[in-house]
């Protein structure tokens, strides 16, 4: 538990099964864990009890589809709430996105139009999730290959969503870097347009350089340019936690530990 | 016929490769043919075709990555054909499903097995189908390759009260 209580800012990692053996050893570089809600429904739910005894947890959702008009999927919300109950997290988070329409389940995140209609749906659903879980809810910016036009900028949309729903922001630094490259804007300036009071947590990981676009694969070491944008975020706001969000191509744990230490010493 | 909204139209374009190809070739006619709600049709018309294609590819790639981790033996057996075979399966398979990764892996393996593809590791298929269905237990006679030899086994999977899954394989004729 070295240093977990004293530090002002927690540094942790997204809990994934290939990391379980390492996490079991209580590596000193890990202050906290972020668990994906959908990974702990069903047969793996019992593991949360053991994890929460050893680490402060955050519960991260992928499939509530906060941006889809109409009621939230009651079954998914109930599953999410069950995971939150077991994990007893510091806070919960979901994406500013939609993952399904009326009849189609996309399975993953697609962008919302930054306009008043989307904002109203997002705010209503965010409040519903926050109240159902009785936890602080953070909204996360996503990567997208499609930039939808609307009546406001993406940063204005995020600021208004957080304000309207009484939520915080999970600022995914890598998503900003990837979008900035693919859509040709300045990631530092984008971050400075965010209301710093809302930024509670950062996500960070490396990006993948594709043939024509950069991809958010969660499978690469953190690059220097991502670290520089993270520094801008830390100079602009004062997040309470930073999570390294690696999903695949896991390096030796010594490299992950080093990456966590690098992130810890950003300022 | 009721007009569809922006989200439904967007989702159809992301999941239907034929419709997407028509959109890329001729946006205006495709949008008219989709019967989209007035106001939303202009938003769909404004979508960047290249971005749409890339976004659609990303959605399938995410599913591919999840499936490859859930059925690693089958994936390894398929070798370099795993990716094109999964893409061929996945582009036409978008059924609503709360347990998407498990169900996707199970459906893909079942899709191959139903075509007689011997590279499917049947114990994996059994496990994925069990996990995605949520039943209490499952028993199945399966054939698999063990230490280079094809074996038959009785695979038993049980969901424990706390949710953990226990499994045992009883090999026949060792």
According to DSSP, the residues that pair with A244 across neighbouring strands are A13, A204
pLDDT of residue B1: 61
Residue A212 three-state SS: coil
pLDDT computed for residue B131 by the predictor: 86
CB contact under 8 A, A113 and B52: no
Q: Which residue of A41, A43, A69 is in closest CB contact with B165? A: A43
Is residue B126 within 8 angstroms of chain A, CB to CB? no
Pairwise CA distance, residues B110 & B117, whole Å:
10
CATH code for the part of the protein at A10-264: 3.20.20.150
Cβ-Cβ contacts under 8 Å, B100 against chain A: 63, 105, 107
pLDDT of residue B121 exceeding 80, the answer is yes
> What pLDDT is recorded for position B97?
66
- Most confidently modeled range among A167-176, B117-126, B141-150: A167-176
**Residue B109: is its pLDDT beyond 80?**
yes
φ/ψ of B98, rounded to 5, equals -65, -30
Tell me the mean pLDDT in the region B17-37: 96
Note the ipTM here.
Answer: 0.87
Instruction: Compute the distance between CA of residue A162 and CA of residue B23 in angstroms, rounded to an integer.
Output: 35
**Rg (chain B; Cα; Å):** 21
Residue A13 to residue A31: CA distance in whole angstroms: 8
In A155-194, the residues whose Cβ lies within 8 Å of chain B are none
Write the burial class of residue A257 (CB in 10 Å: 0-12 exposed, 13-18 middle, 19+ buried): middle
Distance CA A184, CA B107 (A): 39
Q: Give me the residues of chain A with pLDDT under 70, please.
A: 1-7, 42-43
Confidence bin at B134 (pLDDT 50/70/90): confident
Q: What is the pLDDT of residues A157-186, one digit of tens each?
A: 999 999 999 999 999 999 999 999 999 999
């Amino acid at each position: 538990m070295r240093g977990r209580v004293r530090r002002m800012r927690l540094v942790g990692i997204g809990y994934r099964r290939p990391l379980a053996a390492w996490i079991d050893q209580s590596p000193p570089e890990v202050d906290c864990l972020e668990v994906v809600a959908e990974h702990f429904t069903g047969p793996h739910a019992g593991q949360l009890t053991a994890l929460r005894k050893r680490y402060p947890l955050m519960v991260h959702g992928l499939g509530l589809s906060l941006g889809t008009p109409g009621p939230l999927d009651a079954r998914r919300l109930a599953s999410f709430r069950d995971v939150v109950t077991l994990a007893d997290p510091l806070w919960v988070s979901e994406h500013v996105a939609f993952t399904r329409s009326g009849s189609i389940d996309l399975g993953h995140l697609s962008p919302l139009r930054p306009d008043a209609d989307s904002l109203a749906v997002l705010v209503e659903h965010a409040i519903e999730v926050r109240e159902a879980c009785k936890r602080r809810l953070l909204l996360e910016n996503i990567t997208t290959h499609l930039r939808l036009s609307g009546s406001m900028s993406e940063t204005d949309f995020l600021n208004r969503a957080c304000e309207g729903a009484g939520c915080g922001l999970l600022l995914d630094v890598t998503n900003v870097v990837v979008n900035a490259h693919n859509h040709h804007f300045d990631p530092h300036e984008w971050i400075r347009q965010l209301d710093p009071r809302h930024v509670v947590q950062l996500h960070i990981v490396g990006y993948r350089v594709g043939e024509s676009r950069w991809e958010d694969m969660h499978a690469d070491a953190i690059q220097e340019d991502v670290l520089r944008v993270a520094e801008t975020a830390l100079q602009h706001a004062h997040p309470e936690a930073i999570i390294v969000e690696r999903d695949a191509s896991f390096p030796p744990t010594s490299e992950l530990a080093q990456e966590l230490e690098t992130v810890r010493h950003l300022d | 016929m009721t007009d569809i909204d922006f989200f439904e139209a967007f989702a159809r374009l992301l999941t239907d490769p034929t419709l997407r190809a028509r959109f890329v070739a001729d946006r205006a006619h495709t949008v008219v043919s989709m019967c989209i709600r007035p106001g939303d049709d202009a938003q769909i018309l404004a979508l960047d075709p290249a971005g749409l294609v890339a976004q659609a590819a990303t959605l399938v790639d995410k599913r591919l990555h999840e499936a490859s981790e859930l059925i690693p033996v089958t994936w390894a057996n398929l070798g370099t054909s795993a990716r094109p075979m999964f893409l061929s399966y996945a582009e036409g398979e978008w059924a609503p499903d709360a347990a998407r990764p498990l169900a996707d892996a199970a459906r893909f393996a079942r899709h191959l097995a139903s075509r007689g593809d011997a590279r499917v590791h049947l114990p994996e298929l059994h496990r994925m189908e069990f996990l995605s269905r949520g039943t209490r237990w499952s028993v199945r006679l399966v054939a698999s390759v063990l230490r280079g030899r094809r074996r038959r086994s009785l695979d038993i999977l049980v969901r424990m009260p706390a949710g953990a899954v226990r499994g045992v394989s009883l090999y026949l004729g060792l």
